[in-house]
Amino acid sequence: MDRGQQRGGSWSGARRVLKSVRDVMAASRSAQARLDQVVKVIAGGMVAEVCSVYVQRAGDVLELFATEGLKPEAVHVTRLRVGEGLVGDIAAHARPLAIADAQSHPAFAYRPETGEEIYHSLMGVPILRGGRVIGVLVVQNRRPRHYSEEEVETMETIAMVLAELVASGEVVNPAELHPTDGIAVLPVRLEGLRLNAGIAMGQAVLHRPRIAITRLIAEDTAAEVKRLTQALSSLHTALDDLLAAPDLADSGEHRDVLETYRMFAQDSGWLGRIRETMGAGLTAEAAVQKVQEDTRARMAHVSDPYLRERLLDFEDLTNRLLQHLAGNGGTAAAAGLPEDAVLIARSLGPAELLDYDRSKLRAVVMEEGSATAHVSIIGRALGVPVLGRVKGVLDKIDPLDPVIVDADHSQMFIRPSEDVQQAFHETMRARAARAAEYISMRELPSITRDGVAVSLNINAGLLADLSHLEETGAEGVGLYRTEIPFMVRSAFPDVADQTRFYKKVFKAVGSRSVVFRTLDIGGDKTLSYMSHPDEENPAMGWRSIRIGLDHPVLLREQLRSLLRASAKRRLDVMFPMISDVAEFEAARAILELEMKRAARRGDPPPKQIRVGAMLEVPALAWQLEALLPKVDFLSIGSNDLLQFLFASDRGNPALSERYDMLSPAVLRFLRAVVELCAAANVPLSICGEMAGRPLEAMALVGIGLRSLSMTPASIGPVKSLVRSLDISDLEPYLVELCRRPDRSLRSALKAFAQDHGAAI
């Protein structure tokens, strides 16, 4: 008998077991009675001497709720912690386990009241609901038995059916698993990760895209396959309509995201697993949900951020496909939104966010998410505050609860008290007034009171960011992060694609300047289509220009695209994370190769080419005398530079307040760089968080920096500061301050600002 015949036989057996389980579940008996009968049916159908169901209780405890084969007196007595024993191991890792000799396994935990010492082999699967383990289903046999993959899949399918009963509230009160650290009506403050800055007030709208599946067993498999085909066709049409929407028709990273998402919807592996699962006799909805649960379980312990974000895209697709199968909207987007909606979700896909009425959407809060997630890119394009990684928000919030999202400070307030609401109303009014003030000075020059010009530029990584040039009156783009278009694709963009994109950037900036940073990947910015080594310290590992020099084709194609796109314009290009002069020389040599290649082809050349380096690695500061004659400009990348100076991971919350960027060590280091660049007549700028904070910007101007690049939202506040400064007072004061042994100069600089009317 071949594998196909074996599989066909096993699917046939699976259908019989599932039908029997379904009949038991449909009976009008108590939940306990149904569980007691289900374990008998499963034991018979799986040819096992034992079948047991463990249900998770409060405190991460698994309780034996029903058994066929173990001692009856162990029911509701035997308990295992999550992670304890083989059952606890299945729950802890949300994955199946099949062992021919369970008692020899190091994780085996013996419970004498069960009488299980006579059973040797064991197979168990997690009972999953919404990606969370809510129980474990186990079968055991007296003799050593090697359970097949088909038997494991059958058990997983049965567990999915059982999940409906376990999660119904009839077995365990759902409130038992909810956090008990406060009364629901009390105000709650939660912290998260800022994915897009801003402040918003509104009413909570719970996304909750889960579709209730009432029919699990298929009566006619061919009819279910037809329903799936029709739903997929409807899904693809809906995605095409979304891409054709007028406000999304323009090119940009948000469109690249949706194009990639559209490709996911045609992924043959995903669709193949769904169709294969339907072969077990499940309905189309049940098969889609089972593949979703299996994928969640496999990905639960994946730490790679890009892979986890792609999982969210597949979850979004799964939910949308279920909606098309069910014939309804399925999410809060299908219902009417309040005028000031704050969307709350465990996770969101990019298309799901775009389902919502953007005119009523004030903010987005998620339990998951990262700055490079597709939904974050879409959120930035829409201009709404986005807060991610807000742990437990769905357990603490009810629909239409009043909510304040303060993404600027990575926090949110649920049911805020009147005084908190009043404070934020005042904050928002003040922000609106300041925004009007900043707009009014948009055309005014960024010049100090004593006539010193300070160039203010924006950092950008999206085409949508470039609209802020006109809004803010910024002089240009001091840092264009070219890696983001690479990160939202499923394959390397070719030269033609890159050239088209860079031409759009040039068109958007108009006559203003733009500095392109070459590909800065690696570390926390990985590409799904490129292998990255496991590194103990990725921030200081194989990343940035190191990858470009080791894979010169990548760098050559990017530089070739930039040269073609910049025809008859000035091209400013800089190489990131240069650690020594030889790296810069090697990178510049690659650029010169591409310039010669373009000349041979007869491509129209740029009007001018300026080549720079980023100072992020402290070692480069002691090589500036050798480097400066070779560069046209230098840019300080403050974020990486400061974490390397202090040997302090900037993403580690335990270290976030330990070191201050306004310390004498930092300012003396930067002033030395300023003096060397001034002596060599090399233009110097700084980009990063430090440049966009008014107090820090005051210190930077005071030590001699005259070009700052920052987020668009920081242009107004920093310009207001610059126009309130008198450099002749500030410079000598900073010289004196830098001699101090203080850990931080922040308080002294604040005092100076207050005494001299500086707008910090």
Which residues are tagged catalytic? 374, 687
**Beta carbons of 266 and 236 less than 8 angstroms apart:** yes
Got the DSSP string for 457-496? Answer: EEEESSGGGGGHHHHHT--EEEEEETTHHHHTSSS---HH
Q: How many residues does the chain have?
A: 760
Residue 719's nearest CA partner among 685, 701, 702, 694 is: 694
Cα separation of 591 and 607, whole Å? 16
Going by C-alpha positions, the residue among 206, 205, 232, 228 that lies closest to residue 218 is 228
Contacts of residue 573, defined as CB under 8 A and 6 or more positions apart, other chains included, come to 515, 516, 517, 518, 559, 562, 591, 609, 610, 611, 612
Question: Which H/E stretch holds residue 207?
Answer: none
Our measurement of the distance from residue 45's CA atom to the centroid of its chain's CA atoms, rounded to an integer in Å, reads: 43
3-state secondary structure of 684: strand
Please name the amino acid found at residue 685.
Answer: S
- Are 518 and 575 in contact, with CB atoms under 8 Å apart? yes
User: Which region, left, alpha or beta, applies to residue 109 given φ > 0 means left and ψ of -120 to 50 means alpha?
Assistant: beta
Q: Two tokens at 757?
A: 């009317």
Q: Is 288 helix (H, G, I), strand (E, B) or coil?
A: helix
Question: Pairing mode, if any, of strands 684-687 and 633-637?
Answer: parallel
The single residue listed with the structure tokens 């001299």 is: 756
CB 576 within 8 A of CB 459: no
The closest of 559, 560, 457 to 518, measured between CA atoms, is 559
Q: How far apart are alpha carbons 538 and 525 in whole angstroms?
A: 10
Rounded CA gap, 53 and 759, in Å? 66
CA atoms within 13 A of residue 666's CA, in its CB half-sphere: 27
Q: Using CA atoms, how far apart are residues 760 and 756, in angstroms rounded to an integer?
A: 11
